[in-house]
Structures are given as C-alpha cells and as structure tokens.
Amino acid sequence: MTEQYEKATFAGGCFWCMVQPFDEQPGIKEVISGYTGGHKENPTYEEVCSETTGHYEAVQITFDPDVFPYKRLLELYWQQIDPTDPGGQFNDRGDSYRTAIFYHNEAQKEQAEASKQEVAKSGKFQKPIVTNIIPAGPFYKAEEKHQYYYKKNSFHYNMYKEGSGRARFIRENWKKVKSDEELRKELTPIQYEVTRKNGTEPPFQNEFWNHTEEGIYVDIVSGEPLFSSLDKYDAGCGWPSFTKPIRRSEIEENLDTSHGMRRIEVRSKTADSHLGHVFDDGPGPDGARYCINSAALRFVPKSKLAEEGYGEYVKLFK
C-alpha cells in the first residue's frame, strides 16, 4: 500500500527548537523550518525577526498518519512550549515567536481545539492557554542554514535551548514525575536501585541480556520508548546492548567519574532514570554500544504494541 503523507504546521517560538522533537519520531518524512501566517511573500529571517511581516517562525511536518497520528503530533507539540505566553516564547519576544497551530483541514482543526481544551483542563497551568488555532496558509521555507539546526550546530543548539529557558521549562512542566514513595511501591528492589540510585545489576543474571523477541524496550518508570530489538545485539558483556536508541531526544548522556572511572552515563530524559552507559566499541556506523540494565527496562512485544499504546512503532517491524 502506498504511504499517504499529510502535513502539520506548528509555531512554537524559535524554530531551531521545534525540529528535533518531531524529526526523531517514526513516520516523519521531513520537518522544514520556515515562516507562515503573515503578509509578505518569501520573507527573509531578518525581515521576520523585525516583526514587520506578520509571520510566525514555524515548522511544517510531513508525516504518515498511519504510523504517527496527528493527535500524537499535537501531544508532542504542547510539550515543547509555554502555551500561556502571548508575547513570545522564553527569552525570544515578539509576535514572530508566538505559538500557533495551523490546521490543514477540518479534522485537524477539531483535534487541535480538543487538545487545547485538554491542556486547559489538565490543571497544569494557572494562566489561560493562549495558543492560536489558525487556518494554514502559504508556508515559506527558511534559509538553508536554519534547516535541521540541531544537527548542524548541536553544541550551540543545546546551549541555546538551555540558556533560553526552554529546556528548564520543559523539565519542570512536562516531565512525568512520580514521588519517591510511589516508585518504591511500584518498582522491585533492583529496579529502584538501578533507576533511582544509579545501581548496576549482575551481568548474565538479568532479564534481557539474551532476550531475542521482537519489540521495543521502554523506560520502566515513565513508559517512554527507549530501544528497539532491531538495534539489539549480543556484545558478550552480559547486559542488553544496543547500537542506538529509538529516539536520541529521549536519552541524556553525562560524564560519570564514579568508581575511579571515566564513563558516559545514559539516563532517560523524561523520568531521569539511570539506564547504563554508552561505549565506543559497538558494531554500528557510529561505533556506539549502549550497555543497559534490564532492570531499567520493560519489554513490549511486537504483537502488543498497538494494544499498549505504542501503535506508531508497529511499522518498524514490517
């Protein structure tokens, strides 16, 4: 069956920060940075920043709705922004940095309005939700230097996202955080020791070290997808090993100097779970070996992906 792609257009402040969250999802063909909503044809970045064109900085996403539905795009969109700010986003001020959902058909409009109501009723924010829902119009692609900025200038991108206040806002308002008391009740002793106390389980004596079933491995705390069986291999170390995560945006890597060693620790971004470490002796093109504790993971088999809410990943195994 021929893939049927659709378009979604979102404004969320600086478009540099609105590409990576969508680009690393399954079913996404491309994410283009550009300008829309204004009156000037083919504006330049400088013109849009001068606040004389009426345009928003925005991203236009080409996606396969059978793999990653529009509703999931909306959920992900809200988690990148402060929807209560009418004057811009974080350190970026002005109309071009306002938030907006540009709908391409009536179905998108209905879903966008419903999702806005859900955010408003969630109790997460004390101020009104001011994100506009607007009919999509002409979309003008931004200059090439702005396309996929997070890949081309990763160091500056990460510094900017943190320095602007966006990264901190996302951590404080959108992370799925459970109390220590809740986690002690929900997790087994080894799961708690690994994820919350940076522990390490014994090699060759853990659940997934030689597990070969097809499916995905999710964070035991938050349920966020982390690794796929398609990227798993036997490294001979006694722990589950992967050549890459499903989405690098869900992984944080930090220098670990504990136990007199210098290693790169791997943590999940959403739940801040300790997962394991990454080394540079893997078989893939990047040379990465993600050595992960089974106790930090829950396995969702291919046959149950849709049933458990991970339907967008079914296509990975076809």
3-state secondary structure (DSSP) of residue 271? coil
Told to judge if 237 belongs to the known catalytic residues of this protein, a careful annotator would answer no
Tokens encoding 51: 């606040």
Told to judge if 14 belongs to the known catalytic residues of this protein, a careful annotator would answer yes
Q: Would you tell me how many other CB atoms lie within 10 Å of the CB of residue 179?
A: 8
Q: Beta partners for 268?
A: 251
Alpha carbons 70 and 63: distance in angstroms, whole number: 8
263-268 and 251-256 beta bridge pairing: antiparallel
3-state secondary structure (DSSP) of residue 144? helix
Alpha carbons 10 and 20: distance in angstroms, whole number: 13
195 vs 176, 190, 192, 237, 293, CA distance in Å? 15, 9, 5, 20, 9
Tokens encoding 253: 């890597």
Of 107, 179, 103, which Cα lies nearest the Cα of 137? 103
Q: b/e per residue, 291-304, with b = 16+ CB within 10 A?
A: bbbbbbbbbbebee
Q: What are phi and psi of 120, to 5 degrees?
A: -65, -35
For residue 60, give every residue at least 6 positions away whose Cβ sits within 8 Å of its Cβ, in sequence order, or none.
Answer: 7, 8, 9, 31, 32, 34, 36, 139
Give the active site residues. 14, 291
